[in-house]
Amino acid sequence: MADLTSHAAHVRKVITTKDISRLPLAASWHRCAHLHGLDPEASLKPQRVTEMELRRLSEPLEPLLVTASPTLERLRRAIGNRGVCMLVSNAQGVPVLCWGPEADMPDLQMRGLCEGVDWSEAQSGTNGIGTSLIERRALCVRPHLHYYATTLSITCVSAPFFDDQGVLAGAANITYYGHASEQAPVGLLMSSISDAARQIEIDHFHQTFAGDRIISIPGETRSGAILLAVDRDDVITGATRGARRVFGLTDTDLSAGIIASDLFAKLLEPLDDTLQAAEYSVLRRWLIRNGGNVTASARDLQISHATLKRKLKAHSLNRRRLN
């Protein structure tokens, strides 16, 4: 009771301070108190959905979870099986998958670290799953950073993942509990969970647009991998959340139709889409293929040597300087 009361007093002190910029997850504590109306001194009891409701919540995630299976299995093997479990939730914060040591299952059920428990921030206060979903970022919640004192014996790291349309789909979570919560390798876990969430998005995007060409744009973004799906006519058919943020794309834009080369042209120097530019490109490509040999290029283009020479002069193309 003393720990519960002292932690609750600390939470109340933090949410009344004016400068919260240096306090980790203080914004979440503020939401819990002022938006969700939660009492940090209350005893948190896991709120479980029914089996029927859990099946209903799981169904929309099934295609994504199928493609995520290899990534999740690698992550599960990497974290071991002592005092640690892995959860995957939907966008509402309800775990639909759970892996943990078989011997610890009764303890995990008691703690709510299992399928079908509502870990949304509005229900369970500051926690890995619920808070990462609200803040749309990977984060770590150490024991003393939970809103409720009843969750002081767990350390969790979570990262949200988004579907092929850039919509929040769920969160991947690793939780250390009991004595192991104090020894959790947070730095390594943050890197692992972030990489896993990113890979889940990439694999699902590739699977969804398997018939299209996938363009990967280099660069780092908090919004995930920057991927575009393009059909054989160079029309963009899909974009990840990262690509949508970088290029300012919306569902309306994609429905109206966007040419990939036009999109890139806005970031690079404008492309000349005239017939002259097209002719220049054709002449240059054939000269490169033939090592600058004008006679061979004229033969391949089925024009006379004199005609090709005239065109090269008109386009200021030097066969010795093609790059």
For 105-139, write each residue's pLDDT tens digit.
999 999 999 999 999 999 999 999 999 999 999 99
Asked if 174 contacts 135 with a C-beta cutoff of 8 angstroms, the reply is: no
Domains and CATH numbers, the chain: 2-205 (3.30.450.40), 209-267 (no CATH), 275-314 (1.10.10)
What is the distance between the alpha carbons of residues 139 and 127, in angstroms, rounded to a whole number?
9
Distance of CA 186 to the CA centre of its chain: 20
- Tokens at residue 250, please? 């919306």
pLDDT at 271 over 50: no
pTM (2 d.p.):
0.78
List the strands of the sheet with 168-177, edge to edge.
Answer: 95-99, 84-90, 168-177, 154-162, 139-141
pLDDT digits 0-9 by tens, 41-99: 888 788 999 999 999 999 999 999 999 999 999 999 988 878 999 999 999 999 999 99
Closest Cα partner for 161 from 174, 153, 171? 171
What is the distance between the alpha carbons of residues 173 and 120, in angstroms, rounded to a whole number?
13
Any residues with CB less than 8 A from the CB of 21 and at least 6 apart, and which?
none
Beta-bridged to residue 160, according to DSSP, are 171
Beta-bridged to residue 156, according to DSSP, are 141, 175
User: Alpha-carbon torsion 96, 99, 105, 107, what sign?
Assistant: negative
Asked if 131 contacts 28 with a C-beta cutoff of 8 angstroms, the reply is: yes
pLDDT digits 0-9 by tens, 293-323: 989 888 888 888 888 888 888 888 887 776 6
